[in-house]
């Protein structure tokens, strides 16, 4: 892996040469990496979105610093075979799709290894002892139970529904996407047509935020009572007037009429001018699942969740994750208290709840925390209590805990939460689930004064993307 090169000479900003570059590595966000061996940029590392190891490309330099360059592909010279998905070269959803799957796994394992060595400061000899082989996803094709589709306007003002291009805000229509069933793409196409008929524009955050339609989120799940497979849709818009909200209702009603496979359609609004598909306010719920609840299986149980709640998007690989979490926590069965941070709807914490006398879950989303408590009731886990709020605010009022289970967002643990964990003298072990090797390694280094990393298990929950999950067990020194 490359980090930094010592430049010899930097060309003038207007230099227009198109050098040829051998791509020999990957950055952790999926960009191709190479080092120029000749010319005015000799010795510098180049980041090239859309390029992969084993390829030769002619590049156009877009940005230069004293330690690296960023470039775009001006001309492919030697490229890997095309991916089976026809959108792979443009869509940013599957940046690694042209790499053979075993090579994807090798690079993801290296992402974890390099993060642990450099940021986590784990000695190389020790890392080889604790880092397990990466676990492959059982399904690498149509593996997603949830997809987020962005919305934008074309040059005629028509609404498009698709994925963002790699490292870009440009939208790519993906009518033949392979990651979810064909019915999903039909729903997307129909949604785009109906939204276009409203004459309301898609949201654009730049240069000045404006527009209405933002995201269409589709989820494949099961009706809680019958376990019949169906789809849940979430339309996210900017805050709207009474007339604009009525337009959304009409779109939802027409989608429900066109697709009997849709169990529920939810309309939510978001005020912030950003690119997050997370609603601030729920406006409307239509369909037979009028409470917006669905079920998904995990560890021989059915977890009930809200249409907007977090749950792992790879159903088969998440079973592997749950099994390894249970295995890592098994030695602590019979301990008094488990603290489950970022508990979501209770998965996977509820799968091990019967091993402890008390379990306290903390979850920032109130709807998810309510689902966690309801799931505990459904599983007859009378020792489980879920609370909604910020971790750093609620932890100060929680009792002592012997064991910690946490599954934070990509940003990792907040500094105040880390300080609280370091102050807890009674805490014997931590099981940390992470989707970001960089922030995981940072947090492990901060915890290293009191805890020792005993096991790191990388797991591929996101085939064809640069993302990799990790499960870590730490024990008190």
299 vs 320: CA distance, rounded Å: 9
CA end-to-end span of the chain: 31
Answer whether 304's CB lies under 8 Å from 378's CB.
yes
Cα 300 vs. chain centroid, distance in angstroms? 24
Tokens 């997050």 belong to 276
**Which residue, 62, 49, 47, 56, is CA-closest to 15?**
62
108 vs 28: CA distance, rounded Å: 8
331 vs 284: CA distance, rounded Å: 46
Is 416 a catalytic site residue? no
Catalytic residue (choose from 178, 268, 269, 469): 469
213 vs 235: CA distance, rounded Å: 8
365 vs 390: CA distance, rounded Å: 9
User: Element (H or E) spanning 229, and its range?
Assistant: strand 229-237
Answer whether 180's CB lies under 8 Å from 198's CB.
no
Per-residue burial over 413-447, b = 16 or more CB atoms within 10 Å of its CB, e = otherwise: beeebbebbeebeebbbbbbbbbbbbbbbbbbbbb
State phi, psi for 169 to the nearest 5 degrees.
-95, -5
**Which residue, 409, 463, 465, is CA-closest to 438?**
409
Is 252 a catalytic site residue? no
Catalytic residue (choose from 191, 195, 406, 435): 435
DSSP string for 274-306: SS----SEEEEEESS-TT-EEEEEETTEEEEEE
245 vs 229: CA distance, rounded Å: 29
**Which residue, 257, 158, 162, 150, is CA-closest to 198?**
158
Residues taking part in catalysis: 435, 469
């Amino acid at each position: 892996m490359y980090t930094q090169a010592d430049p010899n000479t930097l060309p003038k900003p207007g230099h227009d040469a198109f050098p040829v570059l051998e791509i020999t590595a990957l950055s952790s966000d999926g960009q191709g990496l190479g080092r120029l061996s000749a010319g005015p940029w000799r010795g510098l590392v180049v980041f090239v979105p859309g390029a992969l190891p084993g390829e030769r490309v002619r590049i156009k330099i877009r940005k230069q610093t004293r330690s690296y360059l960023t470039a775009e592909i001006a001309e492919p010279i030697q490229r890997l075979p095309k991916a089976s998905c026809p959108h792979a070269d443009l869509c940013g959803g599957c940046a690694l799709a042209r790499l053979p799957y075993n090579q994807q796994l090798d690079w993801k394992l290296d992402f974890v290894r390099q993060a642990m060595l450099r940021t986590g400061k784990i000695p190389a000899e020790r890392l080889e002892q604790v880092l397990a082989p990466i676990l492959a996803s059982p399904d690498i094709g149509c593996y997603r139970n949830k997809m987020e589709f962005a919305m934008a306007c074309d040059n005629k003002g028509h609404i498009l529904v698709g994925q963002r291009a790699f490292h870009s805000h440009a939208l790519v229509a993906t009518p033949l996407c392979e990651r979810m069933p064909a019915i999903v793409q039909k729903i997307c196409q129909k949604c785009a047509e109906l939204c276009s008929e409203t004459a309301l524009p898609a949201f654009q955050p730049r240069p000045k935020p404006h527009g209405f339609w933002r995201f269409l989120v589709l989820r494949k799940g099961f009706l809680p009572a019958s376990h019949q497979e169906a789809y849940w849709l979430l339309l996210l818009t900017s805050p709207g007037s009474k007339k604009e909200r009525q337009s959304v209702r009409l779109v939802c009603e027409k989608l429900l009429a066109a697709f009997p496979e849709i169990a529920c359609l939810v309309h939510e609004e978001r005020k912030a001018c950003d690119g997050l598909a997370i609603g601030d306010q729920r406006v409307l719920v239509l369909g037979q699942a009028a409470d917006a609840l669905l079920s998904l299986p995990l560890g021989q149980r059915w977890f009930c969740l809200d249409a907007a709640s977090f749950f792992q998007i790879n159903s088969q690989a998440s079973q592997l994750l749950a099994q390894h979490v249970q295995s890592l926590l098994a030695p602590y069965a019979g301990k008094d208290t488990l603290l489950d941070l970022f508990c979501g709807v209770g998965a996977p914490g509820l799968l091990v709840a019967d091993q402890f006398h008390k379990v306290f879950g903390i979850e920032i989303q109130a709807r998810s925390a309510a689902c966690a408590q309801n799931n505990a009731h459904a599983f007859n886990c009378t020792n489980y209590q879920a609370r909604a709020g910020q971790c750093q605010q609620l932890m100060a009022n929680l009792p002592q805990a012997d064991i910690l289970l946490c599954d934070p967002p990509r940003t990792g643990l907040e500094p105040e939460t880390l300080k609280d964990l370091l102050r807890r003298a009674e805490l014997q072990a931590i099981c940390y689930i992470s989707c970001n090797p960089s922030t995981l390694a940072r947090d492990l280094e901060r915890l290293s004064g009191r805890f020792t990393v005993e096991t790191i298990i990388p797991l591929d929950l996101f085939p064809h993307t640069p993302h990799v999950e990790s499960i870590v067990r730490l024990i008190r020194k």
